[in-house]
Amino acid sequence: MTAIRAEKITRRFGEFTAVDGVSFQVEAGEIFGFLGPNGSGKTVTIKMLCGILPLSGGDAWVDGIDVRADPDSVRSRIGYMSQKFSLYDDLTVLENLRFYGKVYGLGGAKLERKIEEIIEQNNIRPYVNRQAGKLSGGWKQRLALGCALLHEPHILFLDEPTAGIDPVARRQLWDLLFELSGRGITFFVTTHYMDEVERCSHLAYLYYGKLIADGTPAALRHLPDMTPPGTHRVEITTEDVTSALRTARTLPAVRSATIFGRSIHALIEDSVSGNELGEILRRKGYDVEDIRSLAPSLEDVFVELTDRRQKELETPA
């Protein structure tokens, strides 16, 4: 079943086109990662799909409902967590939950039961009587997610849900997302964290209003010519990565190279093997510990896609 379908959706602000003819399809139960640099139009896309920003062009269906025709029905079936914390700071956790429950028409024993369930699920019991504004970042996000879940939406839009929270809280939030996704809820998530990208079941990459990649992580990794013909990728682990990187980049056989932790990821020409590159670096005085060949990481993929797109834009048509 299709949860979200976008057909050439476009949003213009005056002369400026923030989202330009974007099409994609998200199946029910997927965790759809929507990526792109700052200002590429992710939030604008989400707002259009949630029915709070009218489309300038194109069509979209959310949970089978035409967003243009019936935004009200869409709203009662989705949950939305905006990029910025947007619950009431002066209300307590419990009051925020009650308010959102009432907004969705819940009441009485049903509401209390649902709130109880959300508190349990999000582990927020110790904080129920604390004002939302006084919670730390991670708890705020749990509360926001809890509020978005109260009315049992089929689809959840999470705009950078983990921005600015610590790794443990991030891990816990993702565990919860997986659990909910297992129950059939569809997630539309934006993020800038590559480890989170790897957890998604479906990815799309938006670059300044244009969709330039769409597929499963595996499919994106194996996109033809992600590793151009006549080249291959290697990972070189060494003590002194920064200066080794500088040196590696001066070698003619090295097309590109970046640092990942204690190692260098390099795209090199087939004329040189990984071991030969290691030898060259050793001769220059680097203590190379390990060399292995490498499939492109998703980050490699996005960097490559971005580079290409930029080159396309620079060369006049």
Ligand X SMILES: Nc1ncnc2c1ncn2[C@@H]1O[C@H](COP(=O)(O)OP(=O)(O)OP(=O)(O)O)[C@@H](O)[C@H]1O
In the list 1, 2, 39, 89, the residue contacting another protein (rule: CB under 8 A) is: 89
Contact call for residue 15 and ligand X (CB under 6 A): no
Across 282-305, b (16+ Cβ under 10 Å) vs e yields: eeeebebeebeebebbbebbbebb
In the list 2, 8, 39, 105, the residue contacting ligand X (rule: CB under 6 A) is: 39
Contact call for residue 4 and ligand X (CB under 6 A): no
Contact call for residue 41 and ligand X (CB under 6 A): yes
Supply 32's token pair.
């759809």
User: Using CA atoms, how far apart are residues 225 and 156, in angstroms rounded to an integer?
Assistant: 34
Which of 103/219 has CB closer to another protein?
103
Residue 100 contact among another protein, Mg ion, ligand X, none, beta carbon within 5 to 8 Å by kind: another protein
User: Using CA atoms, how far apart are residues 175 and 136, in angstroms rounded to an integer?
Assistant: 19
User: Using CA atoms, how far apart are residues 222 and 311, in angstroms rounded to an integer?
Assistant: 21
Q: Please, which of residues 210-269 interact with another protein by CB under 8 A?
A: none
3-state secondary structure of 251: coil
In the list 2, 8, 39, 76, the residue contacting another protein (rule: CB under 8 A) is: 76
String of contacts with another protein for each residue 94-133, x by CB under 8 A: -x--xxx-xxxx----------------------------
Backbone angles phi, psi at 280, to 5 degrees: -55, -45
- H/E element, 226: none
Residue 184 contact among Mg ion, ligand X, another protein, none, beta carbon within 5 to 8 Å by kind: none
Contact call for residue 83 and ligand X (CB under 6 A): yes
User: Using CA atoms, how far apart are residues 291 and 250, in angstroms rounded to an integer?
Assistant: 19
Which of 84/183 has CB closer to ligand X?
84
Q: Which residues contact 93 (CB under 8 A, 6 or more apart)?
A: 124, 127, 128, 129, 130, 132, 135, 143
Contact call for residue 82 and another protein (CB under 8 A): yes
Contact call for residue 22 and ligand X (CB under 6 A): no
User: What residues line the site for Mg ion (CB under 5 A)?
Assistant: 42-43, 83
User: Using CA atoms, how far apart are residues 24 and 60, in angstroms rounded to an integer?
Assistant: 10
State which amino acid sits at residue 192.
H
String of contacts with another protein for each residue 51-70, x by CB under 8 A: xxxx----------------
Supply 220's token pair.
């994106």
Chain residues binding ligand X by CB under 6 A are 13, 18, 36, 38-44, 83
Chain residues binding another protein by CB under 8 A are 50-54, 72, 75-76, 78, 80, 82, 84-91, 95, 98-100, 102-105
